[in-house]
Amino acid sequence: MNQRVTARIIGGKKLSTADYREYLNTSRSLSDGARKLGSAQKEFAAMGMELKAHPYIAPILGTLYGGGMLCMASDHVNLPYRHLLERCEDHARALQTMASQLTELSEAIIQAQSLYERAEELSRRGMNNVLRTIFVSAPQAAGIALGLSALNGVKTSFVKEGKLNWCYLVESTAWMQEPFVDFIGRHATRLNLLEQPKDFKSTLELITGRLFPIVDTGSLTSDNLTGGPVNRGLKKINRLLIPYYDATHGDNLTVTRVYPKTDVVKGGKSTKDAIADQRRLSEGPLNGDRESGLEYGTIAFCKYRKADGAYAWRINIPGTDGNHDSPMDWYTNFELMSADEQQRGAAESLRFLREAMDQAGIQPNEPVELVGHSQGGIIAAAAAADLQNEYDIQHIATFGSPIAKFDIPEKTMVTAIEMDNEGVAALDGASNPSRENWLTIRGSVHKEDGTSQGVLSGAEVEDSSGERKSTHYLKYHESGYRYAYGTGNKAVLNHDRHFQDVVDGDLQEVQYYQGRIGK
């Protein structure tokens, strides 16, 4: 059976107080109706039990009290026990079905309108804060928790599949990923590449101390840095990494327009269309599809002409392509997530996007929306934060990208789709903001049991049966969005409407660009 994905919807435009109360009262009324129908179902079920027993009890009572086993009166009528029993059972089943449907409708309203979003998110953030406090005050606890959770994942992997599958390790540590990464980031902010410590207070400090000298063990943050602990830590780490990577890979960027052999990106205007295009652009080369001829990470530019003659753009940015001479290699993520805007600006991947936008001819006043998976989403967030004065970036959509700490202006709408146990989205050590311009859809994977029906059962993930696969694949984010959209949530619909409005026009062309890095 394929897996299914449900989702929680966080942020976006909030319901008015009147609408919130109306939805909540409707949900409670449906729930009360379900309880009443459930009580009626129990009464019919009890009546059925009595009818089952009556044909056996009545003759016994007659014998005990001196009567015959059968009544011989001329006006006596035998009750149709079997028929009555069937009717009771039919009514009980019907009532149970109606009670279940009302309960499902009540839950659907709660989920669709995110009525309990604040309480659920506060609970999640509260648990993360508790874990952060524990990890900071007792660093060994972080290592122990990670080790035990990973061992449980190894055990589960061998029990279910008879071999090691890293996906189970990622899933088993999902509960602590954000606070653990935050903890690592806090330690990284204390790095000082100029001094070598003599004493270490923990095993973690011993390991990191051998790799990077550290000082001031009592300081966990630095006042002159911005962003989250992970971003601030990367700023310091990059002082060592950037010169090394520039020396080994080079930093000379060449951007070239390319022409694929097939129509990889189809265009379209909705968020669903953009996700479908993103899958073809990102997953084709990774899955061995060479028909398009795109073997390197390729940025696609969809150019639209609006009714007033102005142009608008949708840009699809792929994730890491694994080619060391590509600006989309993994190491550029360190620069992209730095708290230092200059370091982010020097990242080959962001330079790649900037140069491609210039070559495509995008003007400062032309509306732009950016779409990206994994590293592509980080690039989109960095561009929205750092290039806002150069381009009119009105909307970004990211899938499985750690973007919580980017300073994205409120004028830019954000649609972020993440999976609970994909790992990558937690690498910033923080939860996304919950505000009107920032919508987060957090997907959760469930096994298909063959009996699930309706929107609450989740959206099916294609080709997900058998061996456990990473939920970082775009098909999981696609299913998560499909589920969220199917609930009719107003925040989701509002964000999709804005996403479509940005490029509301006729598709003129699709341009493709690739980059190379050399010395």
**pLDDT tens-digit series, residues 96-107:** 888 888 887 777
pLDDT band at 501 (very low <50, low <70, confident <90, very high): very high
Quote the pLDDT of residue 21.
77
pLDDT tops 50 at residue 225: no
CA-based angle 315:319:325, to the nearest 5? 105
Q: Are 319 and 328 in contact (CB under 8 A)?
A: yes
% of residues, the chain, pLDDT over 90: 48
pLDDT tops 70 at residue 332: yes
More confident residue, 27 or 384: 384
Average pLDDT (494-502) is 97
pLDDT band at 504 (very low <50, low <70, confident <90, very high): very high
Q: Are 331 and 308 in contact (CB under 8 A)?
A: no
Quote the pLDDT of residue 151.
94
**pLDDT tens-digit series, residues 377-430:** 999 999 999 999 999 999 999 999 999 999 999 999 999 999 998 999 999 999
Q: Which of 341, 331, 324, 394 is nearest to 364 (CA)?
A: 394
SS3 456: helix
Count Cβ atoms below 10 Å from residue 254 Cβ, excluding itself: 13
**pLDDT tens-digit series, residues 8-18:** 899 987 777 77
Return d(Cα 248, Cα 519) in angstroms, integer.
8
Q: Quick one: angle between helices 117-137 and 139-161, nearest 10?
A: 120
Q: In the chain, count H helices and then E strands.
A: 15, 10
SS3 342: helix
In the chain, where the domains are located: 15-115, 119-224, 244-518
Provide the edge-to-edge strand list for the sheet that holds 392-399: 252-258, 506-518, 298-305, 311-317, 367-373, 392-399, 413-419, 438-447, 3-11, 459-460
Return d(Cα 390, Cα 355) in angstroms, integer.
12
